[in-house]
Amino acid sequence: MAWFTGGALNVSYNCVDRHAIATPDKVAILWEGDHPSDIRKITYAQLQRDVSRFANALLRRGVRKGDTVCIFMPMVPEVAVAMLACARIGAVHAVVFAGFSVEALRDRIVDGNCVAIVTADQARESSIPSVNPFIS
């Protein structure tokens, strides 16, 4: 049995690029924080720019196709950006719930042979994050 023989698929293209071409100003991500006034609207054009920039940052850090990247962040739109950036370059991403203990995080990083960790330098309760993810 064969399925999609010789085919190629990139979730980053299908979820972002084709929509950024057709409807760049349409909202791709509507994020609401813990407080009703904490709202961010990210268009497909903005999402494409952020995903491309982050994919390039991963590549500059030496992340390559097939590598595993651990994503350890609070529930912010940058999580989706990091996941889509990994898909764009063919890296595997492993999302770890930000509430896990240090030992649980370590075990997942080691077991996944992660070459990079994407995290946030801070998280604030009931406010819009003003930080971008970075790679450590």
Q: Report pLDDT digits (tens) over 8-58.
A: 778 899 999 999 999 999 999 999 988 888 899 999 999 999 999 999 999
Q: Report pLDDT digits (tens) over 69-83.
A: 999 998 899 999 999
pLDDT value of position 97? 83
Give strand pairing partners of 68.
92, 114
Task: Specify the 3-state DSSP secondary structure of 120.
Answer: coil
Mean pLDDT of the chain: 88
Q: Report pLDDT digits (tens) over 120-131.
A: 877 655 444 444
Q: Considering the entire predicted model, what is its pTM?
A: 0.83
> Is residue 23 situated within a structural domain?
yes
Q: Based on the structure, what is the number of domains in the chain?
A: 1
Tell me the CATH number at 117. Answer: 3.40.50.980
In terms of residue numbers, what domain contains 19? 11-135
Render the burial of 20-59: b for 16+ CB within 10 Å, e for the rest. beeeeeeebeebebeeeeeeeebbbbbbbbbbbebbebbe
> Is residue 6 situated within a structural domain?
no
> Is residue 2 situated within a structural domain?
no
